[in-house]
Amino acid sequence: MGALETPLCGLLGIRHAILLAGMAGGPNTPELVGAVSRAGGLGVLGVSGTTADATAEATRAAVRLAGGAPVGVNLQLAGATDATTTRERMLKVLAPFREELGLPPDPPPPPAPDPPLVLLEAALDAGARVVTTWHDPAPVLPVAGAAGVPVLAMTTSVAGALAARAAGADAVIAQGSESGGHRSRFGPGAATASETGTLALVPQVVDALGHGVPVVASGGIADGRGIAAALLVGAQGVSLGTLFLAATESGVTDTYRRALRETLPQDTVVTDAVTGRPARWIRNRIVDALVTANAGTLGWGAQGALMADLRREATRQGRADLMTMLAGQAAAIGAEPRPADRIVRDLVEGTGAALAAARG
């Protein structure tokens, strides 16, 4: 068996214990998802914020491109949160950036997405065979169980891992503080803003759950060395997001890809100012302005909706200083554009080489 052929592979029906993180909002195109699955990992389609029709269409395309390998679907399950500021205050902070991009002072509300369970049912009907979740997985477990598909719940804490397992999750993704993306905080003590690094979190989650429950490491892993370290502390696989943003099949722009190559660990910041929930963003003019303003947010859901047209227009204009770009602290590692199957192959080979070197 290879280094990345672990018991997790049997649970998911894959050859290599490499998962594509469920990045919603466009990065995980059907082409990227299908390519990762076809290469032996698990491609995961992030569908939150879309509609059932769009989810079904994208899932069918990913399944077709996967060539018979399984495809997963990721759902963001956190409910809306209360505002800590007013819309007028946020519009005042954003006004100079909106004017610079040629946008009206006050954006219209974006179309409402379908609820997570509706999206899940659409994805399962279209052929998804694994479910990964962000936040408490309990709402999706009956639907996934009826379909006979495993559920992997992402969490940032031991308490969250225990809660996910008690609810019925088949495996846990342990999300370390280095990760890009939103924090999956739930369970006892979830209100704390403290974070734990991946290599400290994974073995504690493994010990708490027992070695029969697969634990997947996520955060700060971008090559075979990082995967080898995760395996050595007890992980049965890895979930990678930032690394795959650079893949030629991903839905990000070349401006975003260039920013990843130039991003050092200190060039990112964890803040709730962009969407209303903590996430790690590449620091630039707009992110720094939101953090410095310390104006509060409109809450999870409403804050992201307020930012939606600004984000799209900055992306369309290629404005790296005004784009809101998620990225982990290992963004610059392996950030050169490559096909996704090449990334998977390099990870598998790099992991084997790192483990061989560790053994002397």
> Looking at this protein, which amino acid is placed at residue 229?
A
Domain boundaries of the chain, sorted by first residue = 7-359
Buried b (16+ CB within 10 A) or exposed e, 209-223: beeebbbbbbbbbbb
- DSSP string computed for 73-97: EEEE-PPP---SS-HHHHHHHHHHH
> Looking at this protein, which amino acid is placed at residue 49?
G
Chosen CATH of 7-359 out of 3.20.20.70, 3.30.70.580, 3.30.365.10, 1.10.3720.10:
3.20.20.70
Q: What is the pLDDT along the chain (360 residues), one digit of tens a residue?
A: 688 999 999 999 999 999 999 999 999 999 999 999 999 999 999 999 999 999 999 999 999 999 999 999 999 999 999 999 999 999 999 999 999 999 999 998 888 899 999 999 999 999 999 999 999 999 999 999 999 999 999 999 999 999 999 999 999 999 999 999 899 999 888 877 779 999 999 999 999 999 899 999 999 999 999 999 999 999 999 999 999 999 999 999 999 999 999 999 899 999 999 999 999 999 999 999 999 999 999 999 999 999 999 999 999 999 999 999 999 999 999 899 999 999 999 999 999 999 999 888
Amino acid 1: pLDDT: 65
Amino acid 15: pLDDT: 97
d(CA 36, CA 27): 13
Amino acid 328: pLDDT: 97
d(CA 183, CA 180): 9
Residues with Cβ within 8 Å of 267's Cβ and at least 6 positions away in sequence, in order, are 282, 283
pTM, whole model, 2 decimals? 0.96
How many other C-beta atoms can be found within 10 angstroms of the C-beta atom of residue 88?
Answer: 8
